[in-house]
Amino acid sequence: MKTTKLFRYLWRINSILIFFAALLVVGVLGFVAIEFMDFGRHNAEQAVQVDTKPEELVEPPTLGSFHSISGMPLMRAALTFGARYSRSSFSKGGAYSIRNYLFFNSETGEARWLFSTDKQLILDSDELRETIQKEGSKSSKLRAIAFSYQIIDTDTDGDKQLTPADTMTLAYSRPDGSEYTRVLNGVGRIRGTNTIERGTKHVVVYEVDGKWHTIIISLRTFEVEKQGELPAR
């Protein structure tokens, strides 16, 4: 009889422990789901206000780490605004909105900003390299010839914000940030890029209003050499 009561007592304790363990699991899963949802929302909410009112900054802008530019005594760092959630730690950390780049020449000590203001949204930027043949050798090396940029700088949907929902501009600059040149406006999405002719030309496949187009840009002059449209299905 005593043994039966003991088992009943242990069974009740185990039931209570299982109940609280289930609550803990549900709470953890709910927290994870909320964090992932919030992470995506922070990414989608990267926005630059375009009205005349001063932009309210939750956090001051941050200058990121400088990265070397291939084959040159140059470095570049991104200026970022706002915070987003990190996938690994589920905590705020890192900037989600790039607004500008600072270029630094380590030989001369000179520095320059890509833009004079921080009122544009930089979705993506790539270092483009040309192949340089070494003198008296069959070997070659890579050297930066330009940077490409995917920029949101016009409020095309009329919501008084610059967001990824607006169409973008494809632009280029020299490795030191000079000669910023807008090449293509009204781009919906970049579908792919490639460099040809030893890195001196940039091939871009992009989408506008559901149609796929191609463009070839000379990286020596930033001029458009050829444009075309891909066949629809």
111: Cβ–Cβ under 8 A, 6 or more apart, which residues? 102, 103, 104, 105
On whether residue 42 sits in a domain, the answer given is: no
On whether residue 35 sits in a domain, the answer given is: no
On whether residue 33 sits in a domain, the answer given is: no
Rounded distance between C-alpha atoms, residue 122 and residue 167, angstroms: 12
On whether residue 37 sits in a domain, the answer given is: no
pLDDT tens, residue by residue, 134-163: 877 778 899 999 999 999 999 999 999 899
Q: Which tokens sit at 103?
A: 């270029």
On whether residue 68 sits in a domain, the answer given is: yes
Domain span including residue 165: 48-229
Mean pLDDT of 5-27: 62
On whether residue 149 sits in a domain, the answer given is: yes
Name the domain count of the chain.
1
For residue 87, is pLDDT > 80? no
Q: Which tokens sit at 141?
A: 């090396």
On whether residue 29 sits in a domain, the answer given is: no
pLDDT tens, residue by residue, 28-47: 565 545 444 443 343 434 67
On whether residue 8 sits in a domain, the answer given is: no
